[in-house]
Amino acid sequence: MHRQKVLTLFKRYRDRFPEEHQTVDRITAFVEAHENCFSRELLAGHITGSAWILDATGDRALLTHHRKLNIWVQLGGHADGDADVQRVAEREAEEESGISQIQTLSPDIFDIDIHQIPARKDEPEHYHYDCRFLLKAKAHDYTVSDESHDLSWIPLDIMQDYSNEESVLRMVRKTRDRSLHN
């Protein structure tokens, strides 16, 4: 079953973050109910993969000023049928930043978020069921893709000046918690 790997990742995530059980239960139910959950053709929503990319010091994260959403967020995108969400996050990180030297720090999902995407042109309003992975860039130079207005290495200490998105601020807190335990 092509969905089993991601369902296993959700279970491990739920064990690590029991306070997020409602979100995990919701994304699990979505995947179990939709065999084509990795396809953007599923108009109700689909699984996406994102990358929370830290610099070598772990003090800054690479964010995109997203062209369509017009907000600062982590890099990521559609799975396009790929059930390996870690591979999706890694691919999106490289495609959207141009950085080829990126290391995935854990095979486990770093953060899960479900967010609504507004209707646009021929695309109805729908949900992104986002699986985010923790990555570290070995290089700092990036290239801004067509999907972004800009990219920037944002110090974690001033992240709230760039984004008030709870999911972004949650990843900052998780980064800090992780560094305290390493």
Note down pLDDT in tens along the chain; length 182 residues.
Answer: 589 999 999 999 999 999 999 999 999 999 999 999 999 999 999 999 999 999 999 999 999 887 676 778 899 999 999 999 999 999 999 998 989 899 999 999 999 999 998 888 888 999 999 999 999 998 778 766 676 667 789 999 999 999 999 999 999 999 998 865 55
- Confidence (pLDDT) at 84: 97
Q: What are the DSSP calls for the chain, one per residue?
A: -TTHHHHHHHHHHHHH-GGGHHHHHHHHHHHHH-TTTT-TT-TTEEEEEEEEEE-TTSSEEEEEEETTT-SEE-EEEE-TT---HHHHHHHHHHHHH----EEE--SS-SEEEEEEE--BTTB--EEEEEEEEEEEES-------TTEEEEEEEEGGGGGGT---HHHHHHHHHHHHHHHT-
Model pTM score: 0.93
- Confidence (pLDDT) at 8: 98
Q: Which amino acid is at 154?
A: I
- Confidence (pLDDT) at 139: 78
- Confidence (pLDDT) at 148: 62
CATH of 4-180, one of 3.10.580.10, 1.10.8.590, 3.90.79.10, 3.40.50.300: 3.90.79.10
